[in-house]
Chains A and B, each alone.
Chain A
Amino acid sequence: MFSEFLQYLFTGITIGATYALIALGFTLIYNASHVINFAQGEFLMIGGMATVSLTAMGVPMLLAIVLAVALAGLMGIALQRLAIAPAKDANVVTLIIITIGASIFIRGLAQLVWGKKYHVMPNFSGDEPIAVFGAVLNSQSLWVLGVGAVLVAVLVYFFTRTMTGKAILATSMNKDAARLVGIRTQMVLMLAFMVSALLGSIAGIVVAPITFTSYDIGIILGLKGFVAAAIGGLGSGVGAVVGGLALGVVEAMAAGYLSSDYKDAVAFSMILLVLFFMPRGLFGANVVERV
């Protein structure tokens, strides 16, 4: 009974940590540019797929990971420079459609290069599961949680202790004022997309051994990240982490105790319920609309 619950909890926290990282990526880009990036999931896909194919070509794992993350970072910069920056006067819906166009393009490219097959990535440290109070914990889950925690710590350090991080925060608060104190806001936007892509690709790599990977895995992962970010409140880093973990755990519990067919419906009902009572998510800023 308890072991069953524990098992679902482990599953939930692992996938929730991934959602949290995707949601953090959304948050970063949203804060810097108020764009909801529907191509966020593609960064995960690129990370996982590039690592798998590079190791298959004989590149050592660690180097493959570094190269895959760098590739995703470049893609993030390209997305901002080539697709978002030229459309600076476009409205919210148009920007959403541009990022959707970008995600279809990236998916098409991935399909061209890697085909439509599912690809398997081996666990980082063996297939031996760890037994905890009667439940089993996949060793890869520890990697996901560990890497997630480190990334969150790095982000906190980056935004509170470094000049560049503070420049991003300043730009998100008031772009014009940021420019007046000498922050190059275009640079900052590019940086936000890059960091977001790095985050996404790392998440994609650590979770790939659990979920497998394929050219179209980014759609649903990206959407779940968006759900997590909205539950937490768009723009809130704490909200993204809490929203991600909550979404993962609720989903795993729903799959375990209710029905695995309806686990996604439970996730989407959860976001509706949260928004009905807290229209700006759990930790969203309470902004008054200016007229």
Chain B
Amino acid sequence: MIAKLFEFRLKGLVFLALVVFALPLFISNPFHYSLATQIALIAGAVVGLNLLVGFAGQISLGHAGFFGLGAYFSAIMTGHYDWSAVPALIVGAIGVGIIAWVVGRPILRLKGHYLSMATLAVGFIIAIILNNEREMTGGPDGMPVPAFDVFGWELSPFGQYSLFGLDISGDLAWYLFAGVVLLVAVWLAQNLIDSPIGRALRSVHGSEVAASVVGVNTTKYKSLVFVISAVYASVMGALYAHFQGFITPAVAGFEFSILLITMVVLGGMGSTIGVIIGAVVLELLPQVLADFQEFEMMLFGLILMLTMIFMPKGLLPTAANVLAKRRAKSAGADA
């Protein structure tokens, strides 16, 4: 049983690693690298959000707020105060974790739509502050962000690097870095899910009352996973800011929050690989639909609606279900 669990866990991660490292064989254009890097970073945040939504069954319609806080903290510390990127990222993540804990305690007592409302409000308040503190954040016009650096070594999409004797462009270097970050994010999430904490979270999802009856401290675990998912968002936000080189308050905005939760639900709540697929699909869809120009928005809404109506469990779980059914059928035919 334990071996089976371990095997399954590894399978998803190995599959993801293969995709991440095989992708550069198929793309070479800087725009595609940039898109792939963006997707990997956003997918990392979505993996964190999935811990809250998919495993603990709590809703957050304001998660972009934490993503934006991480992004702006790094941007301000490295831009205005000459901090190095790594300490800025770490201090930012700790700060966001503390904020999430302070806000999360009272908010997570709420249920259902009231929880949606409260998280939405928190996200909005963060976005409004980022929009209005012009001296620090540059207001609605946004602000430039210095390149990411580790011990004086800079990682810029426009640089040239050599790795194991191979010359690689800055785009590819950033992509590989983001890919590794995503893999680490998934590995950590999978470990958390299979730990006693993960079991406690799933029990909260199943029935909060039942969980507390058998002695699970539901408040503690809900706050914990809220903090963890906020820290995920903060770290990814900081990296995203350095990668983009320029950010606006839209990274903390309501529409981005909605996009993040939609990625979780569309991909398949509770499936780490599923939500990454959700991120890929929803980031690529506008690229595909851009050809339809004025029909873009309409088609996006229509596709979103139809997918959720016909696959309410999300893309990956539905696909897995269909496959399993087909396999069962053919097995039945054999017998």
Could you tell me which A residues sit within 8 Å of B by CB distance? 30, 36, 83, 86-87, 89-94, 96-98, 100-109, 111-112, 219, 223, 226-227, 230, 234, 261-262, 264-265, 268-269, 271-272, 275-276, 279-281, 289, 291
**Cα–Cα distance between A102 and B303 once the two chains are bound (Å):** 10
Instruction: Point out the residue from A36, A108, A262 that lies within 8 Å of B296, measured CB to CB.
Output: A108
**Cα–Cα distance between A103 and B302 once the two chains are bound (Å):** 10
Verify A227–B121 contact, CB threshold 8 A: yes
Nearest chain-A residue to B124 (Cβ)?
A268
Verify A280–B301 contact, CB threshold 8 A: no
Which of A104, A112, A223, A269 is most buried by chain B, counting CB atoms within 10 A of its CB?
A104
Q: SS class of chain B's interface: helix, strand, loop or mixed?
A: helix
Verify A264–B132 contact, CB threshold 8 A: no
- Chain B residue total in the interface (Cβ 8 A): 50
A264 touching B261 in the complex, CB below 8 Å, given contacts A93-B53, A234-B114: no
Instruction: Point out the residue from A94, A227, A289 that lies within 8 Å of B209, measured CB to CB.
Output: A289
**Cα–Cα distance between A112 and B295 once the two chains are bound (Å):** 7
**Cα–Cα distance between A175 and B297 once the two chains are bound (Å):** 36
Instruction: Point out the residue from A108, A230, A268 that lies within 8 Å of B114, measured CB to CB.
Output: A230
In the complex, what's the smallest C-beta–C-beta distance from A75 to chain B, in angstroms? 13
Q: Mark B299-327, 1 if CB is under 8 A from A, else 0.
A: 11111111011101000000000000000
Neighbouring B residues of A272 by C-beta, 8 Å: 107, 118, 121-122, 125
Instruction: Point out the residue from B113, B301, B309 that lies within 8 Å of A230, measured CB to CB.
Output: B113
In the complex, what's the smallest C-beta–C-beta distance from B229 to chain A, in angstroms? 15
**Cα–Cα distance between A97 and B301 once the two chains are bound (Å):** 10
The 16 listed contacts between A and B (C-beta, < 8 Å) are A89-B312, A93-B53, A98-B308, A100-B304, A106-B301, A107-B297, A108-B300, A112-B295, A261-B131, A264-B128, A265-B129, A268-B125, A268-B128, A269-B125, A272-B118, A281-B114
Q: Mark B89-110, 1 if CB is under 8 A from A, else 0.
A: 0000000000000000011011
Neighbouring A residues of B129 by C-beta, 8 Å: 265
Q: Mark B202-242, 1 if CB is under 8 A from A, else 0.
A: 00000111100000000000000000000000000000000
In the complex, what's the smallest C-beta–C-beta distance from A266 to chain B, in angstroms? 9
Could you tell me which B residues sit within 8 Å of A by CB distance? 53, 59, 106-107, 109-114, 116-118, 120-122, 124-125, 128-129, 131-132, 207-210, 254, 258, 261-262, 265-266, 269, 294-306, 308-310, 312
Instruction: Point out the residue from A97, A109, A261, A262 that lies within 8 Å of B308, measured CB to CB.
Output: A97
Verify A87–B308 contact, CB threshold 8 A: yes
Verify B114–A94 contact, CB threshold 8 A: no
Verify A98–B128 contact, CB threshold 8 A: no
Neighbouring B residues of A219 by C-beta, 8 Å: 254
Verify A36–B116 contact, CB threshold 8 A: yes
Neighbouring B residues of A101 by C-beta, 8 Å: 301-306, 308
Neighbouring B residues of A30 by C-beta, 8 Å: 113
Instruction: Point out the residue from A91, A102, A112 that lies within 8 Å of B305, measured CB to CB.
Output: A102
Neighbouring B residues of A102 by C-beta, 8 Å: 301, 305
**Cα–Cα distance between A175 and B265 once the two chains are bound (Å):** 27
Nearest chain-B residue to A284 (Cβ)?
B114
Verify B59–A93 contact, CB threshold 8 A: yes
